[in-house]
């Protein structure tokens, strides 16, 4: 094997090991991120059993989005309104948004806009703005 072929062979080996190393590092990063998100979600889920906790409100909203008692599908708008009336302040609502994101990986405001009509959404904003 000539010197030129040897250099090319070494370059191929370096490229292969570099690609394997980058792939492994990326995989480990994604795996760690998954477990961290799962841990945060599990912690939020365990907190969701305490009355008045932001995770409880987040869970109640998600359940209202998923369960309309009358038909078994759709959104239970009355339950959403009831939860908004129970949230004591705007700062608590901010915490509810964060917990909702931690638990379900989704944006609460975006889900509210998707699940409710514009009149219903505006009513919730009015309820929220009336709080201190």
Structure tokens at 75: 């959104």
Percent of the chain residues past pLDDT 70, beyond the cut: 87
Q: What is the mean pLDDT of the chain?
A: 84
Rounded to whole angstroms, the Cα distance separating 117 from 124 reads 11
Where residue 48 falls among pLDDT bands split at 50, 70, 90? low
Query: CA 101 to CA 61: how far, in whole Å?
Result: 12
Domains for the chain: give ranges and CATH numbers: 3-129 (1.10.220.10)
**Tokens 């008692």 map to which residue?**
69
pTM equals 0.61
44 pLDDT higher than 60: yes
Dihedral (CA of 114, 122, 101, 57) sign: negative
The pLDDT, as a whole number, for residue 39 is: 78
């Amino acid at each position: 094997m000539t010197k030129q072929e040897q250099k090319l062979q070494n370059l191929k080996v370096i490229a292969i090991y570099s690609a394997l190393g980058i792939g492994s590092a990326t995989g480990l990063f994604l795996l760690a991120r998954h477990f961290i998100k799962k841990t945060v979600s599990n912690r939020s889920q365990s907190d969701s059993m305490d009355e008045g906790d932001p995770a409880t409100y987040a869970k109640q909203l998600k359940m209202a989005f998923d369960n309309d008692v009358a038909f078994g599908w759709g959104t239970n708008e009355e339950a959403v309104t009831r939860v908004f009336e129970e949230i004591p302040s705007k700062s608590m609502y901010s915490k509810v948004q964060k917990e909702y994101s931690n638990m379900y990986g989704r944006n609460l405001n975006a889900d509210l806009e998707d699940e409710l009509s514009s009149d219903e959404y505006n009513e919730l904003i009015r309820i929220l703005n009336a709080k201190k």
